[in-house]
Amino acid sequence: MTADHPARSGAGLSVTLAILLVLLSLVSLAIGYAPLSPGEVLAGLFGMGSEEQQLIVQQIRLPRVLLAWLIGMGLGASGAALQGLLRNPLAEPGLLGISSSAGLGAVLALYFGANALSLWLLPGAAMSAALLATLVLYAMTRAGTSNLTLILAGVALASLASALTSLALNLAPNPSDVQDIVLWLMGSISDRSLDDVRLALPFVLLGLMLLLATGRSLDLLALGEGEAASLGVDLPRLRALVIFGTALAVGAGVAVSGAIGFVGLVVPHMLRRFVAYRPGRLLLPSALGGALLVLAADVLLRTIDTRQELMLGVVTALIGAPFFLALVLRARRDML
Amino acid sequence: MSRLDVQGVAVRLGGRTRLQTQDLTVDGGQMLGLIGPNGAGKSTLVKAIAQLVAHRGECCLAGEVLERLPARERARKLAYLSQDDRLQWPIAVRDLVALGRHPYQGSWWRGGAASVEDQRAIETALRATDVWDLRARRADTLSGGERARARLARVLAVEARLLLVDEPVAALDPRHQLSAMTLLRSQCTAGAAVIVVLHDLTLASRFCDRLLLLDGGAAVASGSVDEVLSDQHLRRVYGIRALTGAHGAERYIVPWAIDARSDSNAPQGESL
C-alpha cells in the first residue's frame, strides 16, 4: 500500500479553496460605491489608511464578507454532513426543516413587530425556532427511528413552517409588514454590522466544530448503518452531532441573513470527486466552498447594476438551480 | 481459543418475539451455518450476536461478554458483513477496505492515519480476496462479484476472531460462490470462529462444520450437517423435496420440487 496521496486527502483542495476565499474577500472589500485599490483595502483593514477608508472597509464592507463566510461555511458543512449521514446526495439543511423553522421564527418576530423592541429579538426568535425543530428531530432519533423517518419528519416540519409563514403573510395587518417579511425571506447580508457577526459567530463556530467531528464516522457510514456500527460508530451520537451542528450553524446563519438556499446542496456535489468521494473528507472543503459560493454570489449581485439591489438568496438560487440541473444532466452516473 | 457462547438470546421487535434460540457454541476454527427460509430470523440472530439489535441474553467470546465490552474494543473482536451490498458513495476499493481498520486507529483529528500494521492488514486482505489489482478502482465500477470480494476484504481487514457474515454469496456466480466460501474456510483454519448465513444447502453442507436450522424465529434443528439436513427437516421447514447425493465424503443437496403434502406418504429424497 502506498501512503495516502496528498491529492486524495483533500488537504490540497482545502488550501486552494482557502486561498481563493481570501482573494475574493479582498475583491469584495474593494468593490462598491467607492472603489478601493488592493493597497487601500489592506491599509483600511489593518487601520493604516485614511479614516474614511477604515470606515468603509471595517464598518461597511467587512461585516458583509464575514457574514458570507459564516453563512456559507455553515450551509456547506451541514449540507455535506447531512448527505453523509442520510446517505442521500439530495439532503441539505432545508430538507430537515431547520432553515424554514428558523425562517418562521424570524417571520413571527417581524409579524409581531418585535424588531422595533430590540435588535436581538429577531435572531433570537429564529435560533429558538431552529432549536425547537432540532429538538423534535433529535427526539425522533433517540426513539431509534430510521433515517427515512428522519427525512420524512424533516419534510413535514419544513411544510409546517412554510404554511405558518404563509399564514403570517396572509394575516399581516398592513402591507409594509408583508414587504418586510418577503424581503427578509429572500435572504441578504447587506446593511449588516459587526454586531450581526458577533451574534452569529459563536453559534456557527460551535456548529462547525460539531459537524467537523463527524468525519470518520461519516466515512464508515458509507458501508451502511449495520457495518458502521459493528466497526464502533455510535449512530445516536453521530445523528445528534449532525443535527445539533446543523441547527447551530444554519440557524444562526438564517437568523442574521434570512433564507439562503441551494448552497448546502450544490457545494458538496461540486467537490465530492476531488476527495475521492469520501464523505468525511468532504466536510472542510464544503465549508470553504460554501463560503466561497455565498461570497461570489454577493460580489456578483453588487457588481450587477439593478434598480434595486438583488437579494442574496435569489442570486444563490438563480446560480445554484440551473447549475445543479446541468450537473445532473451531464453526469447522471456521477450523481452518487 | 476464540470460542463463542451464545446464551438465552431473544429479540423482540414491534412488541412480539422475533427470535428465541437455544444456546449455541462455536469454537475457534469452526464454521457454523445458519439456514432456514426467508424471515426465519437468521439475520436477526447474526445482528444480535454483532450487538446491532437490542436483545436479551449474552454472547461470550473467549470469556468476554460482548454486551459489556466498549464499542471500540468489541469492534476489534468481531467483524460483520451485512446482507445489503449497496454502497452509497463510489469510494475506491482500498479506501473501502481501509475502513475495516477503524477500530485500531486514532481519533478523528488524526484523520485515522494508517499505521504500518494497518497497511499490512489491508494489503493482506486485498490479496487474500484477489482484489489487489482493483485497489485503485472506484467501487461503483466493479462487477457484482468484484464488489462482494472487496466487501469481504473489508471484513478480513478487521482481523477479528469472530466473523459474522450474512449471505455472502447471494449475488455471486458459482465460481465466486466457491471462492468466497473457500476464503471464509481459510479464516477458520487461521483460528477464527465463523457464523455464516446461507441459502445454498450444498455450500452449507460442504463448508460448514455444523448447521443451525431456524424457522419462525426458533431453532428447529442444530448439529451436524447430516442431522440437520434430513429429508424430514427440508420438507417441514422449507416445504420442498430435494435430490441428495454424495461425492466422496461430501454431500450435495439440490432443491427439486415444492412439497405440497406434509403427510408421511411424501416421497423420500431420491439419490441421483
Q: What is the pLDDT of residues B42-63, one digit of tens each?
A: 999 999 999 999 999 999 999 9
- A225 touches A126 (CB < 8 A): no
- B157 touches B127 (CB < 8 A): no
Residues in chain A closer than 8 A to B89 (CB atoms):
87, 222, 272, 277-279, 336
- Using pLDDT thresholds of 50, 70 and 90, give the confidence band for residue B111: low
Angle between helices A62-86 and A147-171 (to 10 degrees): 140
Cell of A82: 447531512
pLDDT at B153: 95
If you search the block for the grid coordinates 454469496, which residue do you land on? B169
Distance, CA of A119 to CA of A111 (rounded, Å)? 14
Residue in A1, A224, A278 closest to B84 by CB: A224
Residues in chain B closer than 8 A to A1 (CB atoms):
94, 114, 119, 122-123, 135
Give ranges for CATH 3.40.50.300 in chain B.
4-229
pLDDT at A9: 62
Residue of B nearest to A220 (CA): B99
Distance, CA of A43 to CA of B177 (rounded, Å)? 70
B4-13/B16-20 β-pairing: antiparallel
Domain positions in chain A are: 6-335
Report which of A297, A317, A303 is spatially closest to residue A69, judged by C-alpha positions. Answer: A297
pLDDT at B105: 86
Residue in A214, A220, A234 closest to B102 by CB: A220
Can you list the residues of chain A whose pLDDT is less than 70?
A: 1-9, 141-147, 331-336
Residues in chain B closer than 8 A to A238 (CB atoms):
none
Yes or no, beta carbons of B75 and A231 under 8 Å apart: yes
The average confidence (pLDDT) of chain B is 89
Yes or no, beta carbons of B75 and A230 under 8 Å apart: yes
Q: Does A120 touch chain B (CB under 8 A)?
A: no
How many CB atoms lie under 10 A from the CB of residue B97? 26
Nearest chain B Cα distance for residue A230, angstroms: 6
Yes or no, beta carbons of A278 and B122 under 8 Å apart: no
Distance, CA of A265 to CA of A321 (rounded, Å)? 10
How large a percentage of chain B has pLDDT more than 90? Answer: 71
Number of Cβ pairs closer than 8 Å across A and B?
Answer: 90
Angle between helices A62-86 and A263-271 (to 10 degrees): 70
- CATH number among 2.40.30.10, 1.10.287.70, 1.10.3470.10, 1.10.760.10, domain A6-335: 1.10.3470.10
Residue in A87, A215, A226 closest to B82 by CB: A226
Q: Which residues are registered as beta bridge partners of B247?
A: B250
Cell of A62: 467587512
pLDDT at B125: 95
Yes or no, beta carbons of B47 and A226 under 8 Å apart: yes
Domain B4-229 -> CATH class: alpha beta
Q: Calculate the CA A255 to chain-centre distance.
A: 11
pLDDT at A239: 87
Yes or no, beta carbons of A216 and B138 under 8 Å apart: no
Residue in A88, A224, A234 closest to B82 by CB: A224
Residue of A nearest to B133 (CA): A1
Yes or no, beta carbons of B90 and A336 under 8 Å apart: yes
pLDDT at A274: 93
Q: What secondary structure letter does DSSP report for A169?
A: H
Residue of B nearest to A11 (CA): B111
Residue in A88, A217, A277 closest to B91 by CB: A277
Nearest chain B Cα distance for residue A278, angstroms: 6
Distance, CA of A134 to CA of A190 (rounded, Å)? 28
* Residue B93 pLDDT exceeds 80: yes
pLDDT at A17: 96
Residues in chain B closer than 8 A to A226 (CB atoms):
47, 50, 52, 80, 82, 84
ipTM of the complex: 0.89
Residue of B nearest to A233 (CA): B71
pLDDT at B107: 57
pLDDT at B271: 41
Nearest chain B Cα distance for residue A85, angstroms: 11
**Residues of chain B with a CB closer than 8 angstroms to some CB in chain A:** 47, 50-52, 71-72, 74-75, 78-82, 84, 86-92, 94-96, 99-100, 102-103, 108, 111-112, 114, 119, 122-123, 135, 138, 140, 154, 158, 164
Nearest chain B Cα distance for residue A212, angstroms: 9
pLDDT at B272: 39
276-315 in chain A: CB under 8 A from chain B: 276-279
Residue of A nearest to B49 (CA): A230
Nearest chain B Cα distance for residue A132, angstroms: 29
Residue of B nearest to A277 (CA): B91
B176-183: Cβ within 8 A, 24+ apart: B176/B145, B176/B148, B176/B149, B177/B203, B178/B203, B179/B130, B179/B149, B180/B148, B180/B149, B180/B152, B181/B206, B181/B207, B182/B207, B183/B128, B183/B129, B183/B152, B183/B156
Helix (H), strand (E) at residue B214: strand B210-215
